[in-house]
Amino acid sequence: MKKKSGFYTVLPVIITINLIFIWGNSLLDAEKSGALSSWLARLLGGTFGSSASHGRLRKIAHAAEFAFLGAGLLLLCRHEWKNRALALLMGMAAALTDETIQLFVKGRSGQVSDVWIDVGGVLLGSAIAAAVLELRRKRGKSDE
């Protein structure tokens, strides 16, 4: 039996921290969430200065955090295709949960469009992780 590498041992912890981050942001009321987005926009040097661009920043952030989640879930369930399908379903469930949380937070609303953006992020992150695993396999390196 192969010994698991340190990365795969801590991967569930990384995924849990990612979910706490995602859902923690969803628990922020509209004022705090807006202030956080404004701070991030300023940090990025005004690229997202206008209100339309500010909205794009929020969508990009949604996709990025869910891409990270999708990659982690796929790596966790990397050995069998049915497990990879389960990883995608878990990512979709996280997206639905994220938007549902916002239904109960002052000034926030769950958006169907955000669920699709989140799911797109999960799919993108999963695809990148699968491509990396395939490259490693072709090079003869084990993924454990």
- Spell out the per-residue pLDDT of the chain, length 144, in tens: 455 668 888 999 999 999 999 999 999 998 998 888 778 777 776 655 555 566 788 889 889 999 999 999 999 988 777 888 899 999 999 999 999 999 999 999 889 999 999 999 999 999 999 999 889 888 886 555
> Over the range 95-132, which residues count as b (16 or more CB within 10 Å of their CB) and which as e?
bebbbebbeebeebebeeebbebbbbbbbbbbeebbee
Q: In this predicted structure, what is the pLDDT of residue 1?
A: 47
Prediction pTM value? 0.83
